[in-house]
């Protein structure tokens, strides 16, 4: 047998096949393969116990029978994998030092890792709804998370074999346009003369319009009418709206380029304005939607959040009482379009945690609607996150209480990183220090966000995120640069094949080699849960394992075979760290 890129997946598939041909098992058998306690092996299959209980069989006897059948199948080379029975039917799999070393030789490049990782998604059609910027509004710190998390998840999905479409589902058809158009018309604003900071001006116009509505509540009716006119195709309002959308696009494209955000298509809410009637008709036809106080709504009695003084939950409002569409209308039309146009098998939405109720109702409505109509239902996931906090543990804002603009945050990250780099390496040319500061500053901001469990709040701290110690981007980037310096000293290309290496011998070598193989598990865990912090934690642990190895085992030794194998371990660590950082949207550096 050859070594498997993903031993867990390979063992699972082999056990399923073997069990299907072994007396006492049937198609219901789930091997339950997972990483094992290192005391017992590398992987453990726990599925025999549950299967035996359900079928009133002896788990140890079944486990032993499966081991013997697996060994007889010839798919487990005893020189590479040792199988043993433990406890009430658990099967342990211990990889030999030869397997672990052969894995290092078999998988040496980013392309090798991607080739092996592709089986995780295996061509599955996935639509990811990100970063979904709000038209006519400046990006602030709250937009950091959808850009950073969405970018990382997108790159991971693509790396792991998904047939991916990144859809920037912009908010370009909502209530705010009524207010904005009202203000533009009232002040006779010429949008073509707003200059380079046009989006800043639009953002302020909306705020001023909202304040005006508070002072003069009768203007809210004017704004609502402007929105209805827009949604009904009024020529003047449509022309204003098109200018607003273009101004927003120009500003966000500039920001996306700085953040490394990749977008395949941009289909905003406006794209679905002629598709919502079908939604109203179909949901009414199947009896799912009904009129309530002039609006069209869907009731989900299983939703636990109840309206005040009402025995029923909050309804899912899919059409306003004035006949205008809303987020629910266009979100439902979007699901249908993605299934019919893109053949989506999976749809992933990224928003903050405040939208959980909306997506619960969206998913429930879609499930009931698609079942009634016989449409193929995609798997739908809501990736949400907590709040970025300041040192006072409150939402991170400026001293005046305003939201921090994302562009200002990026500029400050570069500036602070440049100061740190200049302090540590004053002799480097300025242009090189600027390049390093770009990677370190922006990368540190991204990594601080990604390394936190996304569903939890985290405290934003410049000192912590720019530190060269601990689980930070500078620490990982420095590790890559340090490995690069080793190869410069020996005059060897880290991407080239290194010949003449001997087998692993020391405990530190073995520990690093095992941790390198853990890249596979980290990818799988991250993809399955859509939580990039799992990959961040792995990269930090890999860097720590490398430090342990480097401190314990000298690389530049006289024995050519030992030197070769240790250079291979350095090269593999470099490749995995670089690959992992790039998947997170962080650019590794040749030197720091």
- What would the pLDDT profile of 415-428 be if each residue is shown by its tens digit? 999 999 999 889 99
CA-CA distances (angstroms) from residue 14 to 21, 75, 305?
11, 8, 46
Give the per-residue pLDDT at 307. Answer: 54
pLDDT digits (tens, 9 = 90+) for 8-21: 999 999 999 999 99
Phi, psi of 358 (to 5 degrees): -60, -45
Give the per-residue pLDDT at 196. Answer: 85
Task: Give, to the nearest 10 degrees, the angle between helix 507-529 and helix 7-20.
Answer: 70
Which range among 34-38, 352-356, 470-474 shows the weakest confidence by mean pLDDT? 34-38
Dihedral in degrees, nearest 10, Cα atoms 269, 409, 141, 523? 80
The Cα 70–Cα 8 span in angstroms is 15
Give the per-residue pLDDT at 308. Answer: 54
Nearest Cα to Cα of residue 335 among 369, 289, 299? 369
Give the per-residue pLDDT at 471. Answer: 97
Mean pLDDT, to the nearest integer, of 468-477?
96
Give the per-residue pLDDT at 311. Answer: 65
pLDDT digits (tens, 9 = 90+) for 454-463: 999 999 999 9
The total of other beta-carbon atoms located within 10 Å of residue 236's CB is 12
pLDDT digits (tens, 9 = 90+) for 210-221: 999 999 999 999
Give the per-residue pLDDT at 493. Answer: 95
pLDDT tier, 134 (very low <50, low <70, confident <90, very high otherwise) = confident
User: Angle 100-105-107 (CA atoms, 0-180°, nearest 5)?
Assistant: 90
Task: Give, to the nearest 10 degrees, the angle between helix 144-159 and helix 235-259.
Answer: 70
Task: Give, to the nearest 10 degrees, the angle between helix 356-373 and helix 276-285.
Answer: 70
Task: Please state whether the peptide bond connecting residue 131 to the residue before it is cis, i.e. omega within 30 degrees of 0.
Answer: yes
pLDDT digits (tens, 9 = 90+) for 368-399: 999 999 999 999 999 999 999 999 999 998 77
Is it the case that residue 400 has pLDDT exceeding 80? no
The Cα 129–Cα 224 span in angstroms is 28
In the chain, count H helices and then E strands: 20, 13
Instruction: Take residue 108 and report the two structure tokens written for it.
Output: 């040496």
In 125-172, DSSP assigns E strands to: 125-129, 163-167
Q: Per the confidence metrics, is the pTM higher than 0.85?
A: yes
Give the per-residue pLDDT at 306. Answer: 57
Q: Please name every residue paired with 346 in a beta bridge, in sequence order, or none if there are none.
A: 126, 379
Element of type H or E holding 523: helix 507-529
Dihedral in degrees, nearest 10, Cα atoms 7, 9, 15, 17? -130
């Amino acid at each position: 047998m050859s070594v498997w890129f993903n031993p867990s997946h390979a063992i699972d598939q082999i056990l399923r096949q073997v069990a299907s041909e072994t007396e006492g098992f049937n198609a219901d058998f789930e091997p339950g393969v997972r990483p094992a306690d290192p005391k017992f092996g590398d992987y453990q299959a726990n599925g025999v116990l549950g299967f035996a209980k359900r079928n009133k069989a002896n788990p140890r006897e079944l486990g032993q029978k499966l081991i013997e059948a697996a060994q007889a199948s010839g798919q487990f080379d005893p020189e590479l994998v040792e199988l043993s029975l433990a406890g009430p039917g658990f099967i342990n799999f211990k990889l030999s030092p030869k397997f672990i070393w052969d894995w290092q030789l078999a998988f040496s490049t980013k392309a090798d890792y991607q080739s092996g990782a592709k089986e995780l998604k295996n061509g599955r059609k996935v639509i990811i709804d990100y970063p979904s910027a709000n038209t006519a509004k400046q990006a602030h710190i709250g937009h950091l998370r959808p850009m950073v998390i969405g970018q990382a998840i997108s790159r991971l999905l693509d790396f792991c074999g998904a047939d991916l479409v990144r859809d920037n589902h912009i908010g370009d058809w909502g209530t705010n346009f009524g207010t904005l158009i009202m203000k533009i018309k009232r002040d006779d604003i010429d949008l073509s003369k707003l200059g380079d900071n046009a989006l800043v001006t639009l953002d302020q116009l909306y705020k001023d319009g909202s304040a005006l509505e508070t002072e003069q509540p009768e203007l809210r009716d004017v704004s609502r009418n402007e929105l209805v006119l827009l949604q009904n195709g009024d020529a003047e309002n449509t022309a204003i709206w098109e200018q607003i959308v273009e101004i927003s696009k120009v500003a966000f494209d500039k920001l996306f380029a700085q953040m490394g955000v990749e977008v395949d298509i941009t289909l905003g809410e406006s794209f679905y304005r002629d598709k919502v009637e079908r939604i109203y008709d179909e949901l009414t036809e199947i009896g799912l939607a009904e009129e309530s106080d002039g609006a069209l709504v869907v009731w989900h009695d299983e939703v636990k959040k109840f309206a005040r003084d009402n025995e029923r939950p909050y309804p899912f409002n899919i059409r306003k009482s004035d006949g205008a569409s809303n987020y629910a209308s266009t979100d439902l039309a979007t699901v249908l379009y993605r299934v019919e146009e893109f053949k989506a098998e999976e749809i992933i939405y990224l928003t903050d945690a405040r939208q959980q109720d909306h997506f619960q109702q969206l998913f429930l409505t879609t499930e009931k609607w698609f079942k009634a109509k016989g449409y193929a239902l995609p798997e739908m996931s809501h990736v949400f996150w907590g709040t970025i906090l300041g040192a006072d543990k409150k939402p991170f804002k400026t001293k005046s209480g305003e939201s921090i603009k994302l562009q200002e945050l990026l500029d400050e990250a570069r500036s602070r990183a440049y100061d740190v780099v200049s302090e540590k390496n004053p002799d480097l040319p300025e242009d090189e220090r600027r390049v390093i500061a770009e990677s370190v500053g922006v990368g540190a901001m991204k990594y601080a966000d990604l390394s936190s469990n996304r569903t939890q709040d985290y405290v934003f701290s410049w000192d912590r995120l720019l530190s060269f110690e601990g689980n930070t981007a500078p620490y990982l980037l420095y590790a890559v640069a340090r490995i690069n310096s080793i190869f410069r000293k020996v005059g060897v290309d880290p991407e080239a094949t290194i010949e003449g290496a001997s087998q692993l011998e020391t405990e530190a070598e073995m520990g690093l080699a095992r941790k390198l193989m853990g890249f596979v598990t980290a990818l799988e865990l991250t993809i399955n849960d859509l939580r990039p912090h799992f990959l961040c934690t792995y990269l930090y642990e890999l860097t720590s394992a490398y430090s342990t190895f480097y401190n314990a085992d000298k690389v530049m030794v006289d024995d050519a075979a030992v030197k070769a194998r240790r250079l291979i371990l350095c090269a593999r660590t470099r490749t995995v760290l670089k690959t992992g950082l790039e998947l997170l949207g962080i650019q590794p550096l040749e030197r720091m």
